[in-house]
């Protein structure tokens, strides 16, 4: 199978992750999918294939040269986002895209339009895989899986392309921030790796947000509203007062590039008790720490007016992998050269989010992120250009060749 055939096969598997199950993998569909991949890797004749009880699949393409070269890895994740259904995905190929609006679902009037998604214009004349408007597509990250396996098969079938030992891995639950939690870096045994989990063609990322989640709780006092004067403390009102004390413009909808933010992602409340859930993001570690301190300061400020009303719990999620990548920048340089060699213009940029590679880098496996080609992830307007997937697979092959050559 080529990369497109693989991708169209993979999106049939429903692999949405679920952060509420407290299981690994968090959903049974991921294990069903990874067992399918295990059989595929066996059929390809790969070695050292291992699938553990948590859904982490690893395999090896042995070196075909007689000298020592670094062992490199390629990684992609099994799950799709919980933000939208990934069940019964019905993809369609739009051949030779004409630059106009694409009707995804006529009955529901769901249209993928360049006026709303101007990046479509970059792919005029190419072949796009789109949804039917009812589900996400799953290019994040089944495109990455298809590209890695297609590249490995190409290397295996073309022994004239010299390469060292190549390790590949597919892991669950990246979309809920747990993809690297049980990843056995020692067992993977690579000198460095690349996640194939980026977006548009050419993207190459070795910087990501520092990330934390904060839960701010407000304890109120409920009494009959007709007799509440000087007695009631409405926790919803206090929580609202807290929320508006944060900088209005430091939110996702007002920031870009290296700008960080506070993002209110949950509000559960009654008069008696209210909980606000924030995610905190910033590329700069010092600014990140200041953001956490600001939330703590506002909590104390609320308690000055309403004693013992507010409490806060902050948990770090991941950190900017830049500090782990910069000492080994040759791995980024290799990816840049590989892209240029296959006529892809590199676009080195920070990730406004996180990847498994960030956590893996802090576990001792430096792991930049390379494009998988998809756009508009996590929703019904997701699409992936076929030519971008083909180029991504070519980049994987070229990285392997360059590492052996150097």
Residue indicated by tokens 């990285």? 399
- Calpha distance 352→166 (Å, rounded): 29
Contact partners, residue 265, CB within 8 Å, separation at least 6: 277, 278, 279
Quote the tokens at residue 316: 């770090």
| CA-based nearest residue to 74, from 153, 151, 162 | 151
Which of these is catalytic: 14, 40, 79, 203? 79
DSSP string, 179-245: TTTT--HHHH--SEEEEEEE-STTEEE----EEEEEEEEEE-B---GGG-TTT-B-HHHHHHHHHTT
Contact of 103 with 363, CB cutoff 8 Å: no
- Calpha distance 138→380 (Å, rounded): 10
Residue 79 among the catalytic residues: yes
- The CA-atom distances, in angstroms, between 130 and each of 37, 360, 382, 387 are 23, 31, 7, 14
Residue 174 among the catalytic residues: yes
Which of these is catalytic: 127, 147, 153, 174? 174
**Dihedral of alpha carbons 226, 230, 233, 236, sign:** positive
The side-by-side arrangement of strands in the sheet containing 383-385 is 92-94, 128-130, 383-385
DSSP string, 18-77: -TTS--SSSSHHHHHHHHHHHHHHHHHT-EEEEE-TTS-EEEEE---SSS----EEEEEE
Which positions are catalytic? 79, 174
């Amino acid at each position: 199978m080529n990369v497109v055939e693989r991708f169209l096969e993979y999106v049939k598997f429903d692999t949405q992750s679920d952060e509420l199950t407290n299981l690994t993998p968090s959903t049974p569909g991921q294990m069903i999918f990874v067992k399918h991949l295990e059989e595929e890797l066996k059929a390809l004749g790969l070695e050292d294939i291992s699938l553990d009880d948590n859904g982490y699949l690893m395999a090896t393409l042995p070196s075909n040269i007689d000298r020592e070269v670094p062992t490199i890895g390629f990684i992609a994740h099994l799950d799709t986002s919980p933000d939208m259904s990934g069940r019964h995905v019905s993809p369609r190929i739009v051949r030779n895209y004409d630059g106009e609006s694409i009707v995804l679902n006529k009955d529901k009037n769901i249209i993928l339009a360049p006026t709303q998604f101007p990046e479509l214009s970059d792919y005029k004349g190419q072949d796009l895989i789109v949804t039917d408007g009812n589900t996400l597509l799953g290019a994040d990250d089944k495109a990455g899986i298809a590209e890695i396996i297609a590249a490995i098969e190409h290397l295996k079938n073309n022994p004239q392309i010299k390469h060292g030992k190549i390790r590949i891995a597919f892991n669950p639950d990246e979309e809920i921030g747990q993809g690297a939690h049980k990843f056995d870096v020692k067992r993977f045994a690579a000198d460095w790796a690349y996640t194939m989990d980026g977006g548009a063609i050419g993207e190459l990322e070795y910087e990501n947000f520092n990330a934390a989640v904060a839960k701010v709780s407000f304890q109120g006092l409920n009494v009959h509203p007709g007799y509440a004067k000087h007695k009631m403390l409405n926790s919803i009102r206090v929580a609202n007062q807290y929320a508006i004390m944060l900088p209005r413009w430091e939110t996702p909808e007002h920031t870009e590039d290296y700008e960080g933010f506070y993002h209110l992602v949950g509000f559960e409340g009654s008069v008696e008790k209210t909980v606000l859930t924030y995610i905190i993001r910033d590329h700069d570690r010092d600014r990140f720490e200041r953001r956490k301190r600001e939330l703590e300061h506002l909590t104390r400020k609320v308690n000055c007016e309403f004693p013992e009303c507010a409490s806060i719990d902050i948990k770090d999620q991941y950190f900017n992998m830049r500090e782990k990548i910069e000492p080994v920048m040759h791995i980024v340089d290799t990816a840049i050269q590989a892209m240029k060699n296959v006529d892809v213009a590199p676009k080195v940029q920070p990730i406004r989010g996180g990847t498994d590679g960030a956590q893996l880098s802090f576990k001792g496996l430096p792991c930049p992120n390379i494009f998988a080609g998809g756009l508009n992830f996590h929703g019904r307007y997701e699409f992936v250009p076929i030519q971008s997937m083909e180029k991504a697979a070519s980049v994987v092959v070229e990285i392997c060749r360059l590492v052996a050559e150097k």
